[in-house]
Structure 1
């Protein structure tokens, strides 16, 4: 199986590397060619200087870029992947996007005689580097089954959530839950600090009980030390939560905690924390508690 991988950010770079390690023939494209060259040297893979060149012989084209417009530029634009992909091949979008874009891509692929799977991932930079991502998929079962060897290369779990668009909606729920957990963890941590509790001991005590979570086990101790440099920048979380609120509006519901979270993240970004990890929400909760 020949695979093209478009987008070599903090997620895509190691994901494409895992495909080489799993035995796939991989060609990459990145808008910054120097990064594609560096990846090719590191993993003994191939790189192309245009999307069309990268995807022309691929059985599967995976995309992992920034936002809806970036995906369109790489896929449906005149010089995008869909125009150069061979009939019967598969486009997989690992970018976190709107469900509307996923449905738009599904229609474009169908018209071009290729298959499509929306497949956003969760697990952050560490999950990508360690090959243990969770992959939430939207598409048909036959395509999902055919993609399992790929997903196994960089994922711990892949689940078909339904038709095209449902993978992105599952990722929205994931982001809503992360924001909620971090809000509760921030308030709990603040109370623990003020009460004089030893935070490492507290985490070891609570992490295997009903309050345990990935965020508690992996971020509470670093939040206690005001360390927030872990890869998934809050500017991306602001984008993701925006999709959540848009979808909620379409469904006729309100998400007050999510709205509060995005407002806090926006304020943090405006104060210069835009590249900090999502756990920096603790700073906003701490500031609000002392008003």
Structure 2
């Protein structure tokens, strides 16, 4: 099996490296040569593509790209990869995009005899590097079964949610909850400071209450240590929150709490924090 991987950033790079570590024949492409070299360094079965068109003969192609528009440009434009991939091949996307775009991609691929599986991810780069990244898959069940062994290499556990709509909606909703929770946590930490409670003790005690959360346990200590290094950046968080609010609006639901949180991420980005971790929202609260 020949596998192509497009996009070797914080999430895509680790997943591609997992495939190479497993001995798979992987052709990789990224705009950053450093990202390519870092990925190829983990094994001998990977190689660099000069362009995405080099992946035309791949049996499976992955993309991990920032925006829906990037995916459509690479895969669905006039000379996009989906227009030249061989029939019977499978396209797997692990980006975070909106359900309507995912369904458009699925229809575009189906007409050309290509399977499409949407596989948004659940955690961060550290988990991805260890192949401990939860995968939320959606698409045709027969196609999913066809590539399940490959998905089990790049991450775990692999969950099948049904259609691509369900998979990408789940991811966006998850991020809407997580990012809104982070703004509430930041607000609470600021109030704890005003109350004069020692910051480390404050966080430790919150864990014992109904205020406990993933964000408290993971990003709380980073905030405590003034660590805003980019694991999941403000700009990416804002992109996902915007997509989620747009999705909700399209379904006639007003995501009021998420829209309020979105304002703080917008403020953080406008203040030059776009490439800092999303916990930098603490600074603007």
Question: In structure 2, what is the equivalent of residue 110 of structure 1?
Answer: 110
Find out whether 1:40 has 2:40 as its counterpart: yes
Q: C-alpha displacement at 1:157, in angstroms?
A: 2.2
Find out whether 1:74 has 2:74 as its counterpart: yes
Question: In structure 1, what is the equivalent of residue 242 of structure 2?
Answer: 242
Q: Partners of 1:210 and 1:134 in 2: how far apart?
A: 25
Question: In structure 2, what is the equivalent of residue 156 of structure 1?
Answer: 156
Q: C-alpha displacement at 1:159, in angstroms?
A: 1.7
Q: C-alpha displacement at 1:42, in angstroms?
A: 4.1
Question: In structure 2, what is the equivalent of residue 288 of structure 1?
Answer: none
SS in 1 for 2:91: strand
**Contact residue 125 and residue 230 of structure 1 kept, 8 A:** no
Structure 1 residues 80-133: Cα deviation after superposition (integer angstroms, max 9, x where no partner): 221232211110111111212101110111011010011111212222223222
Q: C-alpha displacement at 1:243, in angstroms?
A: 0.9
Q: How does 1:104-183 map to 2 (within 5 A)?
A: 104-183=104-183
CA RMSD of aligned residues (A): 1.9
SS in 1 for 2:161: strand
Q: C-alpha displacement at 1:66, in angstroms?
A: 1.2
Distance 1:111 1:209, change over 3 A: same
Q: C-alpha displacement at 1:23, in angstroms?
A: 2.8
Distance 1:32 1:78, change over 3 A: farther
SS in 2 for 1:122: coil
Q: C-alpha displacement at 1:33, in angstroms?
A: 4.3
Q: How does 1:6-25 map to 2 (within 5 A)?
A: 6-25=6-25
Q: Partners of 1:208 and 1:148 in 2: how far apart?
A: 39
Q: Partners of 1:15 and 1:205 in 2: how far apart?
A: 36
TM-score by length of 2: 0.92
SS in 2 for 1:82: helix
Q: Partners of 1:35 and 1:218 in 2: how far apart?
A: 26
Question: In structure 2, what is the equivalent of residue 189 of structure 1?
Answer: 189
Structure 1 residues 131-155: Cα deviation after superposition (integer angstroms, max 9, x where no partner): 2222222212222223322222232
Q: C-alpha displacement at 1:164, in angstroms?
A: 2.2
Q: How does 1:204-283 map to 2 (within 5 A)?
A: 204-207=204-207, 210-283=210-283
Q: C-alpha displacement at 1:63, in angstroms?
A: 0.3
**Contact residue 139 and residue 162 of structure 2 kept, 8 A:** yes
For structure 2, which runs of at least 5 residues remain unmatched after alignment? none
TM-score by length of 1: 0.90
Question: In structure 1, what is the equivalent of residue 83 of structure 2?
Answer: 83
Question: In structure 1, what is the equivalent of residue 98 of structure 2?
Answer: 98
Question: In structure 2, what is the equivalent of residue 289 of structure 1?
Answer: none
Q: Partners of 1:196 and 1:131 in 2: how far apart?
A: 42
Distance 1:207 1:149, change over 3 A: farther
**Contact residue 135 and residue 157 of structure 1 kept, 8 A:** yes
**Contact residue 9 and residue 35 of structure 2 kept, 8 A:** no
SS in 2 for 1:95: coil
Structure 1 residues 205-233: Cα deviation after superposition (integer angstroms, max 9, x where no partner): 44365432221111112212332113211
For structure 1, which runs of at least 5 residues remain unmatched after alignment? 286-291
